[in-house]
Chain A
Amino acid sequence: MGLNVLVNPYTMTALDGVAYGLLLFTIAAGLTLIVGVAGVFSMAHGTLYLAGAYLAWYLADGGWTGLALALAAAVVVGAVGGAGLAAVVRPLVDRPLGQVLATLGIAYLGADQFNQVFGAEPRSVDPPRAVAGSVALGDYQYPIYRLLFIAIGLVLVVGLFWLVERSRAGAVVRAVVADPGMAAATGLRTSAVRVGVLVGGGVLAVGAGVLGAPVIGPSPGVDTTVLAYSLIVCVVGGLGSIRGALLAALGVGQILTLGVALVPGVAAFILAAAMLVALTVRHRAALPGQPA
């Protein structure tokens, strides 16, 4: 069968790169909306992911109810987190540095509290038993959950695109981004939109944590890693652009898997270099402005 030709170490790794990339996209989509649309420079995004991952670990029971419960909890926690972020950032509307400091402070606090509550050991989260196995692809085995995750990720991508480009809510968001003054003049409540985006971004991040926990599990330091990757994706993709975040996330995912396999040791530099190149070549385009 042609499958055996397609399936070799490099394509397996590339498939993994797609899964990882979609996970990064789910996380970074929230961040790019928060920074690009709500104008909030949130360094606490990794903390939200970690919260979701710990939720998944705490509520996991090997079955679908545990996952459903964790997702429901994720929506609540994400909404509360997003609203909290909105409240924290409200007095700092025109002070991006203040926002950086405040959210950085929250990130430090959150990390320490997670250590207190959940302990400092790395935790492993298993997906529901039904999808915890592996499926044979040619000569290789591939974890079912990662394939499932790719499917979920694609659904999410389509959903987000539809939401931003086709729905009324998306139009409102784009209007507020393009020209807040005009939008306010036409009667749109810009502050409500901002809070809404923050809440939505929060839910996305915590949800990504719940779904992604079997891939990137909860442990101290994960919040910094996730934040760093999300920032790179947002910067390279352009702040506020979902399309850009998707492409950038897929690219970063490939660098972290295929790149590591092909040119080990240099992958870290490639990431940093990509970010710097994107920033300098496109720094004018790195303005919040094009939501999709």
Chain B
Amino acid sequence: MSATPASVTTGASPRRARRLPRWSLPTLGFLGLAAAVALPWLVNGYVIALAATALVMAVLAMSAQLLVGWAGLSPLGQAGYLVVGAYMAARVATLTDLGPVQVLAATAAGAVAAAVTGSLAVRARGIPFLMVTFGLGELVHAAANQWAPGGSEGTHTAPVAALPGLPAMVRPGWVYLYVLACVLVIGAAVAVLVRTRFALLLRAVAAHEPRVQAAGHHTGRLLLAAYTIAGGIAGAAGALAIAVTRYVSPADAAMGVSALALAAALIGSGSMLGAGAGAVLLVAARDWVSGLLGGHGPTLLGLCFLLLAYLPRLRQASRTLRLPRRRT
């Protein structure tokens, strides 16, 4: 490998970035993909189920990242739209066990819910936005407890079939592969989205809203559109969630889930892949490591959050998010 590693960056030459051969990144990406696909044959069912859960959280993290990294808004209520999507998928599951149909229905439900509640949410910025989304998430939680089928005990759903004609998937390995496929599709769609002009406008709004307004754009509508799309992605995550756990309950809308998605988005500091990776890491910490430690999941998650708060990366993400009085 003829990599030319730069000398340890000193203050003197900040521009000497690390240079790797051009083929290294795509190759590593391909290897990573191959590893992900081969996972079911390498590990046992428990770890595969964890991996599938991590992927679902990665999708939720992407939905949060659209708002954090692009629109400059920090949502603490994306789990609410995940639950809306999950219940919609559970509903559709009684009609058909085709996974992709459920995902589409859930995406639509999540988007609609986000559009309706977003008109309230996008009036705020910064910390008030955080609070509003927190309130909305709690509202969904309460509503699900009151009115969703199964109430606070939740409902079970039937196994999902990936394609018409295939039998419903029961083994966790197949479910994982299905979720992986869906996540790749969603990831591709998101990758296209963040390269559009719309995404650029969102970045501009995050940087300096009055300037964008002066340029003639209706920033409220732009943010609402972003919020709606994020809600749709969260809804899709909900459909995938019930494919994995075959169970949905109001507790899935708890603040802890939204906090995890937000934290993952922050780890990712402005990139979708980073948000996904962050979600994988946090789920590994919360579920897998706490499984080893025998039940101190909250402590571990707390430590993770504490550490994350100090990561210098966050400086970039939160610079786009100021307390209103400091906005210049």
Contact = CB atoms under 8 A, between A and B. Distances in A.
Direct contact, A vs B (beta carbon within 8 Å): yes
Nearest to A284: B324
Interface string B301-328: 1111111111000110111011111100
A265 B314 contact: no
Given A106-B306, A283-B124, 11 more contacts: A41-B127, A97-B266, A98-B309, A102-B305, A102-B310, A108-B301, A112-B299, A269-B139, A272-B135, A279-B131, A280-B132
A23 interface: no
Contacts of B317: 97
Nearest to B142: A268
Interface string B127-142: 1101110111011001
A112 B130 contact: no
Interface of A: 39, 41, 91-92, 94-102, 104-113, 228, 231-232, 235, 265, 268-269, 272-273, 275-276, 279-280, 283-284, 286-289
B313 to A, nearest CB: 10
Interface of B: 74, 76, 120, 123-124, 126-128, 130-132, 134-136, 138-139, 142-143, 146, 259, 262-263, 266, 296, 298-299, 301-310, 314-315, 317-319, 321-326
Contacts of A268: 142
A235 B323 contact: no
A107 B322 CA distance: 23
B135 A276 contact: yes
B128 A286 contact: yes
Contacts of B132: 276, 279-280
A41 B139 CA distance: 21
Contact of B302 (A99, A108, A284, A289): A108
Looking at A99, A107, A108, A228, the one whose CB has the most chain B CB atoms below 10 A away is: A108
A288 B146 CA distance: 35
B310 A92 contact: yes
Contacts of A110: 302
A231 B124 contact: no
B305 A279 contact: no
A280 B120 contact: yes
Contacts of A283: 123-124, 128
B129 to A, nearest CB: 9
Interface of A, secondary structure class, is: helix
Looking at A110, A272, A286, the one whose CB has the most chain B CB atoms below 10 A away is: A272
A92 B318 CA distance: 10
Contacts of B296: 112
Given A105-B304, A108-B298, A276 B120 contact: yes
A272 B146 contact: no
A241 to B, nearest CB: 14
Nearest to A268: B142
Nearest to B125: A283
Given A41-B127, A283-B124, A95 B315 contact: yes
Contacts of A231: 131, 134
Contacts of A102: 305-306, 309-310
Contacts, number: 122
The 8 A-B residue pairs with the shortest CB-CB distance, nearest first, are: A108-B302, A105-B305, A105-B306, A102-B309, A109-B302, A101-B309, A95-B318, A105-B302
A95 B288 CA distance: 30
A97 B138 contact: no
A98 B314 CA distance: 7
Given A97-B321, A105-B306, A272-B142, A112 B298 contact: yes
B321 A96 contact: yes
Contacts of B303: 105, 109
16 contacts: A41-B130, A96-B321, A97-B321, A101-B259, A101-B306, A105-B304, A105-B305, A105-B309, A108-B298, A109-B306, A235-B135, A272-B138, A272-B142, A283-B124, A288-B323, A288-B325
Contact of A275 (B131, B309, B323): B131
A101 B266 contact: yes
Nearest to A115: B298
A204 to B, nearest CB: 21
A107 to B, nearest CB: 7
Contacts of B134: 231
Nearest to B122: A280
Given A108-B298, A112-B302, A98 B310 contact: yes
A265 B309 CA distance: 38
Given A41-B127, A105-B303, A279-B131, A98 B136 contact: no
Contact of A279 (B124, B301, B324): B124
A280 B299 CA distance: 35
B328 to A, nearest CB: 13
A176 to B, nearest CB: 13
A210 to B, nearest CB: 24
A235 B123 CA distance: 15
Nearest to B145: A268
A275 B76 CA distance: 15
A252 to B, nearest CB: 13
A273 B140 CA distance: 11
Contacts of B314: 95, 97-98
